[in-house]
């Protein structure tokens, strides 16, 4: 158990819909990262937040957005969903002064 | 542009033998490298890491070697156990920013 939690574990929805994925980092970790893994590919970095502020952006679509709340949990919002958005979405957290990111169990999104 | 490459999609090793997983990178700015293990339907689990100022790091059965001149790192698992069967990802970063992942190597350890 990494200490990072993600909900829901599975999400099935239709094209055009909007969903929200939630992540709670390890206790005390200020940095939260979101990654997408599609079809046995490597994990692709989407976005990073640090203590409530956006810190870095990767290959994140404009239809996707994220935020980190004062209690440090983070949400990833995916809108106008397309079939190609079906993937595993992972959240990771990192404590200050270290380089290691710890991952949650992921949310499997299926868009029908 | 694939900055981190794992050219072997799969590896099969007998129990008790050594497993060697390889990873190549192209960006000389990377200063920290990590290996993660992933089971199906679970998140990646951190295994071992190495800073670019070192060339070897060991933790129990796991050893990571870094060859900066060749931009190559490898993970050695000795002895291999059936429970090691999983997908292994190498990852790299700099400035403690995003991780750049390879595409993974599926390791199967058979009796």
pLDDT at position B40: 86
Separation of first and last alpha carbons in chain A: 31
Assess B12–A contact: CB distance below 8 Å, yes or no: no
Least Cα distance to B101 among B6, B20, B26 occurs for B6
Assess B99–A contact: CB distance below 8 Å, yes or no: yes
**CB within 8 Å: A100 and B96:** no
CA separation for the pair B58, A58 (Å, rounded): 32
pLDDT tier for residue A97 given thresholds of 50, 70 and 90: confident
Least Cα distance to B37 among B92, B84, B98, B96 occurs for B84
CA separation for the pair B92, B27 (Å, rounded): 9
Q: Count other Cβ atoms within 10 Å, centred on residue B99.
A: 29
Residue in A48, A92, A99 closest to B32 by CB: A99
Percent of chain A exceeding pLDDT 70 equals 99
pLDDT tier for residue A99 given thresholds of 50, 70 and 90: confident
- Whether the pLDDT of residue A36 is over 80: the answer is yes
User: Which residue on chain A is closest to B99 by alpha carbon?
Assistant: A45
- 10-residue stretch averages of pLDDT, chain B, 111 residues long: 91 98 95 94 94 96 97 98 97 84 96 93
Backbone φ/ψ region at B52: left (φ over 0), alpha (ψ -120 to 50), beta:
alpha
| 8 Å CB contact between B107 and B13 | yes
- Residues recorded for chain A: 112
């Amino acid at each position: 158990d990494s200490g990072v939690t993600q909900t829901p574990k599975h999400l099935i929805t239709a094209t055009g819909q909007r969903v929200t994925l939630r992540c709670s980092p390890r206790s005390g970790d200020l940095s939260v990262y979101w990654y997408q893994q599609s079809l046995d590919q490597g994990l692709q970095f989407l976005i990073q937040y640090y203590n409530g502020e956006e810190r870095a952006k990767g290959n994140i679509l404009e239809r996707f957005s994220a935020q980190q709340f004062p209690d440090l949990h983070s949400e990833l919002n995916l809108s106008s969903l397309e079939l190609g958005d079906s993937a595993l979405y992972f959240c990771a957290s990192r404590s200050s002064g270290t380089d290691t990111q710890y991952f949650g169990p992921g949310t499997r999104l299926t868009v029908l | 542009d694939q900055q981190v490459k794992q050219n072997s999609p799969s590896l099969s090793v007998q129990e008790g033998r050594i497993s060697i997983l390889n990873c190549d990178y192209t960006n000389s700015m990377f200063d920290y490298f990590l290996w993660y293990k992933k089971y199906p339907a679970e998140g990646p689990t951190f295994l071992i890491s190495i800073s670019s100022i070192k060339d070897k790091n060991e933790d129990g059965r796991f050893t990571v070697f870094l060859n900066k001149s060749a931009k190559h790192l490898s993970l050695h698992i000795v002895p291999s156990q059936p429970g090691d069967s999983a997908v292994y990802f190498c990852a790299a970063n700099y400035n403690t920013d995003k991780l750049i992942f390879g595409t993974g190597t599926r390791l199967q350890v058979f009796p």
